[in-house]
Amino acid sequence: MRKPLTLRVLSSLDSKGWLALGIFLALALILVPVLNLAVPEDSAFHMSAYAITLIGKIMCYALVAVAMDLIWGYGGILSLGHGLFFALGGYAFGMYLMRQAGSDAGALPAFMIFLDWKELPWFWLGSDSFVWVILLVVVVPALVAFVFGYFAFRSRIKGVYFSIITQALTYAAMLLFFRNETGFGGNNGFTDFRLVLEHSITSPQTRLVLFGLTAIMLAATLVFSRWLVTSKFGRVLTAIRDSESRMMFIGYNPLWYKLFIWVVSAVLCGIAGALYVPQVGIINPSEMSPANSIEIAIWVAVGGRATLIGPVIGAFVVNLAKSWFTVSFPEYWLFFLGLLFIVVTLMLPQGLVGLWKKLMLKKGVAA
């Protein structure tokens, strides 16, 4: 008997995994709104708008980290340009927000008026439609990833060469987006959003809805990714990672396997970017800077590659440390980040999850 696909997806997580996911969603969808709206502001248990935005933002990063884990941890392909796909998703959704921010329907975004443009460039057509923009959020990163990945993987570009090319790709895109003529607001990018789907973007309710959507998306991505890596596809992918030429002699064509996971990863980044922009309120070309993409790899390395949950932990640990450091000792943050990367690479090749497993094993032996 073939097991139906829905059942297979459900059984890709064990009961403990589902329990953890359920607790996470209950916290995000019930406890956080209660602490924010129902608990009075002077109470110690009140959750501030700042905290919600911060955690919402980090959940977007965690989503990117899971996407990175699929391609790096399971596919063995280190991308140092994933910030590009994140930014593309963010810009796509930002277009919609800019149209909603205009003084009346059909008005040009403020930066275009400032540049004395008379009409929308062709690629802005349809950007006032929420559905069209959601489509763009998925399709644009997918298309860019597909075209780039097809030629890179077909030419059998691997390892550090691939990483360097992805780095160059995001850098080139950043330079392109810095130009006013490109039509995406130049170095200021998009900001001063007012409405999303006719609701005020700064109202507590909108903020909580965005927060909840991000939590749901993160949970759904974890389930989807777990199913993906436990399917035969996942086993083929890790086998290609470990010995690509052997897989070719068995009859698998690595090109399509790599391209598939590459495009999936890019789309997840695009969705994360689209959720990030309305919560943070700004998107500009610095999101495509090479340093940002390298940081994504650090989250994954810190949490533990090829574990899925590790990158989520890594994204939270590094970013919470970052928001504390940049307030308390702003000048030392980059030193700390560099140190963290060196320590993890040298002492914790399996990241925090690997450390945890090792400790549990030791405890088990001692007991």
Catalog residues that contact other proteins under the rule CB under 8 A.
2-3, 5, 8, 135, 138-139, 142, 146, 228, 231-233, 235-236, 238-239, 242-243, 245-253, 256-257, 259-260, 263-264, 267
At residue 104, φ and ψ (nearest 5 deg) are -140, 170
Beta pairing class for 282-283 and 195-196? unpaired
Cα separation, 147 vs 157, in Å, equals 14
Distance of closest approach, residue 289 Cβ to other proteins, in angstroms: 28
Rg (CA), the chain: 21
Beta pairing class for 190-191 and 282-283? antiparallel
Distance of closest approach, residue 32 Cβ to other proteins, in angstroms: 27
Distance of closest approach, residue 156 Cβ to other proteins, in angstroms: 11
Q: Which residue matches tokens 């650090």?
A: 298
Q: Which is nearer to other proteins, 259 or 274 (CB)?
A: 259
- Judged by DSSP in three states, 256 sits in helix
Contact 214, 279 (CB under 8 A): yes
Distance of closest approach, residue 82 Cβ to other proteins, in angstroms: 17
Q: Which is nearer to other proteins, 117 or 233 (CB)?
A: 233
Cα separation, 297 vs 314, in Å, equals 10
Q: Rounded to a whole number, what is the distance in angstroms from the first to the last CA of the chain?
A: 42
Distance of closest approach, residue 5 Cβ to other proteins, in angstroms: 7
Q: Which is nearer to other proteins, 109 or 270 (CB)?
A: 270
CA nearest neighbour of 75 among 350, 306, 309, 296: 306
Q: Which is nearer to other proteins, 154 or 199 (CB)?
A: 154
Tokens of 353: 């999850």
Q: Which is nearer to other proteins, 76 or 314 (CB)?
A: 76
Distance of closest approach, residue 236 Cβ to other proteins, in angstroms: 5
At residue 200, φ and ψ (nearest 5 deg) are -65, 130
Q: Which is nearer to other proteins, 8 or 179 (CB)?
A: 8
Q: Which is nearer to other proteins, 189 or 270 (CB)?
A: 270
Contact 190, 18 (CB under 8 A): no
Distance of closest approach, residue 165 Cβ to other proteins, in angstroms: 21
